[in-house]
A and B are shown apart, each in its own frame.
Chain A
């Protein structure tokens, strides 16, 4: 299993995927963090809540991790390399399991990079102003930890979704439309808590009290359930589908 996980990690690291997604993270996180700081007065910036909200911009990494997960599972069908994968490892559920674990690892790395970017920008701006530096306080470190967990869960969910659909572009579009349209619609009905995006968000905010989100542990379990359930269905579908 370890060799399959290593192979999955090498697959991701030997294309330009990380380069483009890294640039996307720098652009998105950097832009949002900078604009927010510039539009915030010093009085607000001095509060823990405001500095924590800056840290939470790193959660964009979880969306990127979701895409990476989808690419891990469905990208091989897009490029036709899945035949090589199944020739080397014909027990297909093992391949899905390896992709899940590799996805979780990469999800942590991707969100970790997003945190590094947002922290560096926020720290540079805050240090240059007459406000207390709270980015190294325990509540904010908890937030960073939660975002890392959210990254792992989002990537696992992405692998599951990619395994079910096995069409990379369709899976990415469906995932983004669901997050940007589907879950907000559920919010209007007040039943969003158990939706996958909100469950991952509950982990990302590390248990910070919110009427719209589950607590940390319920959120983690619900998010994990979605990821594993999708992956299990995907593994069965992959196993039964001919590679031609």
Chain B
């Protein structure tokens, strides 16, 4: 029997009254990789993640972690580490005591508390009340809580929100190290650029529905765009591209956009003895591709 995927979501739907937050969403994430969970604000990412973590009951469908609904996991702290968006803490409790509570409830040896505090570089502030923590320190405390049980899967909901550049760099390095050690990361963000430097795969949703699930390279290939060729014989060139099975669109009387790399365009023109005045690549940014996907998504 094939090993269960770290996260599997099947036909997940969540309605709040007449509002459909997540609509028949199906996807799964691979083990040992970083999967970005992308979509604009309000796309349903947080609701999906909370359904995965057993905090939100699906209206239909299901979400499984390592083959089981989260609520049926034994010792979930040892299986999944979760960093929630805008995580909440008791302001009068110290960071260390917050972790002690989690460790006690989760059956984790208390020695792990000091280990994870050191891991997130929070040892110096461990005995201070969380009410006095900066946003970055709170985020690190969240990560520390997620690491207590040495889980193989980390689920992070918009972890970079409010972090300064140093904090974001720390988080990025940390997650790379985590997956280098064999861990799996599922990280949500509404900013593609945040995830693009980290993720191997992306799951993109819009208005609660799946828009794309693909390796990041595929998404980047979409962003590669086409090649623009300027030639006094643009019309003849266009006919040659059509013969070669390449789609070319007319930009102006002497300009064409071809869905092919510049090397291929140049070779076809040279073989036919056609003069080119200009040959350049025209790349859309990843962000433009993302925006394109999430604006053309299902309505």
Contact = CB atoms under 8 A, between A and B. Distances in A.
B76 interface: yes
Interface string B120-156: 0000000000000000000000000100000000000
Interface in B202-246: none
Contact of B106 (A10, A83, A88, A240): A88
Interface string A105-121: 00000000000000000
A138 interface: no
B53 A14 contact: no
A91 B75 CA distance: 11
B105 A83 contact: no
B46, B73, B88, B107: residue with the most chain A Cβ atoms closer than 10 Å: B88
Given A15-B93, A88-B76, A242 B55 contact: yes
B105 A85 contact: yes
Contacts of B53: 87
A242 B105 contact: no
Interface string B31-73: 0000000000000001100100111110000000000001111
Given A79-B91, A81-B88, A11 B101 contact: yes
A90 B93 contact: no
B57 A7 contact: no
Interface residues of B, number: 35
Interface string A80-99: 11011111111100000000
A244 B71 contact: no
A137 B178 CA distance: 65
Contacts of A79: 88-91
Nearest to B53: A87
Given A244-B55, A244-B56, A87 B71 contact: no
Chain A contact residues (Cβ within 8 angstroms of B): what range? 20 to 34
Interface in B99-113: 100-102, 104-107
B284 interface: no
Contact of B97 (A14, A89, A91): A14
B57 A240 contact: yes
A85 B88 CA distance: 11
Given A86-B55, A88-B76, A90-B76, 9 more contacts: A6-B104, A7-B104, A15-B90, A81-B90, A87-B54, A89-B106, A242-B57, A244-B46, A244-B56
The 9 closest A-B pairs by CB, nearest first: A80-B88, A7-B105, A14-B97, A7-B104, A243-B55, A90-B71, A15-B92, A242-B56, A88-B105
